[in-house]
Structure 1
């Protein structure tokens, strides 16, 4: 989405999560971007990719995403 909007590639600093597992570089970059933009913050140093997402967590991510868009458009 970032590349579509800007025409540039977004390279995030690797997020400090300890449970990335065997993800490819593109997936790690996407998760790190969510962390860097304060959209997803993880829990106690982990991203928890295998856990289910609650409605509350999904709502928080969605609201953080909307805030991120609003902040960057102003």
Structure 2
């Protein structure tokens, strides 16, 4: 076998190995995407409406819930 044929065989082998590596890389990224997607979906489901409530919690005994307006501090607090 002459050197030219040997070099062509090496080039074909290198191209084949690069193609296989690229296919494997794409497959791994695809699998990673699906794993992350499933994890996010499961996290959203876990934090879903069955664990949250829109009802007001019961007030402690002897108290009642009331809305209190917060007022801004209007007095002058600058140093003299």
One fold, TM greater than 0.5?
A: no
- Determine which structure has greater relative contact order: mean sequence separation of CA pairs < 8 Å that are 6+ residues apart, divided by chain length: 1
> Computing the radius of gyration over CA atoms, which structure comes out larger, 1 or 2?
2
What's the TM-score once normalised by structure 1's chain length? 0.29
What's the TM-score once normalised by structure 2's chain length? 0.26
